[in-house]
Each structure stands twice: as C-alpha cells, then as structure tokens.
Amino acid sequence: MKYYAVAEVEVTDPAWVRDYIADVTAMVERHGGRYLARTARSRSSRASARCRRRS
C-alpha cells in the first residue's frame, strides 16, 4: 500500500527541529518509507501571511 503525506509546518521555535527531523527520518526509513521531496528552505509571501492571520 502506498501512502503520500504532505505537511506544512510553521515553526515558531526552531530549537526542537533538528532532533525531530533525525527521529522522524529514522522512523520513516525503518518502515520502508522514503521522502520524495524535502527541503529546509522556505519562503513566505505577503499573501500567505495575510491568509494565516485571517483564518
């Protein structure tokens, strides 16, 4: 069975991110999973910031 997940995360405190990524990556690989795309780079546009405030 294939499963695809898409996540958008707003990190407000980056202190925990490095450990979390290491733990989750190991878990995914242990169960035969792989990442199709992954990046630490992000950008924010004014439009997306406005949308977040309204919701």
Predicted TM-score of the model (pTM): 0.51
The pLDDT tens digits for 10-48 are: 888 888 888 888 898 899 899 888 888 777 665 655 555
Q: What's the angle, vertex CA 6, arms to CA 30 and CA 24, rounded to 5? A: 30
pLDDT for 10 equals 80
Q: Is the dihedral of CA 38, 42, 46, 48 positive or negative?
A: positive
pLDDT higher for 52 or 55?
52
pLDDT for 53 equals 52
CB 17 within 8 A of CB 11: yes
The whole-angstrom separation of Cα 25 and Cα 31 is: 10
Residue extents of the structural domains in the chain: 14-54
